[in-house]
Amino acid sequence: ATGMGALSGGAFGWAALWYRRRRLSLSQQVKRALADGSLSVVYQPIVRMRDKHVVGVEALARLSDEAGEPISPEVFIKAAEDAGLVCEVARLVIRRALADMRDELLARRDFDLSINLSVLDVLDAALVPYLNDEIARNGLNPDQIVLEITERSTARREKLVEAMKAFQRSGHRFFIDDFGTGYSNLAYLASLPISGIKMDKMFTQAIGKEAVCSAIVENICAISDRLGLDLIVEGVETEEQAAYILQLRNDAFGQGWLYGKPGRTLPSTGDSRPHC
């Protein structure tokens, strides 16, 4: 029995070591990318669904490993959170995105830039002045910056709401990301200082396939409308999905491959667009 115990303990130890090394190397890659600027940002258009008018973009972070293979943002953002680096990632994304989208933001007052923040970023008191300085430095308007947060636990809810209000006082708006998953339930919607929600793509992609999800989609459209919240529907890939949403909420905004994939520059309206 002693032998067996030692053996399984050993095997477990190896697994733990492998995991630690993998994690270490991931956070090292994030650190390297922060230092050498190889962490990049791409932009995906957000449109008013009824006429496909582009109303903004979402900034999405990108990182490749040494072999040039993309690392999923879900994976490296988690690693950055665990390594205490996520606030630096947020600063880099903010700096890049404001610089990249500056001309578009200045040319069109109805154009928004959406930035993803971890709960840790929102709780970082130094981020509000950082964001405000960057906005001022670029001569931009705070109300064109939208902050997307995903709540993954109910811990520190009161602290989070207080922190969100500090951003709000500076004129920024919040959207709840991945709405319908995790802890983002309807009950707590009313308690958060938000101007809209983003419906997770899992619901969009189940339209026409799973009756349960269609019922949830209907509810999310109706309740967000009743609460006066804007709705952005994620993962719109087909005209059928778009038509289904529009018949529920004619004023919905959408994001997905149907309208444009994430890219280095603003799609369709492009760099060469004169101005409007």
For Ca ion, the binding residues (CB under 5 A) are 116, 148, 177-178
Q: In the complex with ligand C2E, which residue's Cβ is closer, 118 or 184?
A: 118
Q: What share of the chain is helix, strand, coil (3-state, %, to 5)?
A: 50, 20, 35
CB of 77 to ligand C2E, least distance (A): 4
Exposed (0-12), middle (13-18) or buried (19+): which is 93, by Cβ within 10 Å? Answer: buried
C-alpha span between 168 and 209 (Å, rounded): 39
Q: Which of 77, 85, 101, 176 binds ligand C2E (CB under 6 A)?
A: 77
Q: Give the chain's length.
A: 276
CA-based nearest residue to 133, from 123, 145, 121, 119: 145
What track of x and - describes contact with ligand C2E for positions 4 through 43 (by CB under 6 A)? Answer: ----------------------------------------
- Give the footprint of ligand C2E on residues 102-131 (CB under 6 A): 116-118
Torsion angle (degrees, nearest 10) of CA 164, 168, 173, 175: 20
Is 241 in contact with 213 (CB distance < 8 Å)?
no
Question: CB under 5 to 8 A by kind: which of ligand C2E, Ca ion, none does 44 bind?
Answer: ligand C2E
CB of 22 to Ca ion, least distance (A): 22
Q: In the complex with ligand C2E, which residue's Cβ is closer, 109 or 261?
A: 261
Q: Which of 237, 238, 265, 267 binds ligand C2E (CB under 6 A)?
A: 237
CB of 46 to ligand C2E, least distance (A): 10
- Segment holding 245, helix H or strand E: helix 239-248
- The residue ranges that bind ligand C2E (CB under 6 A) are 44, 60-61, 72-74, 77, 93, 116-118, 148, 150, 177-178, 201, 234-237, 255-257, 262
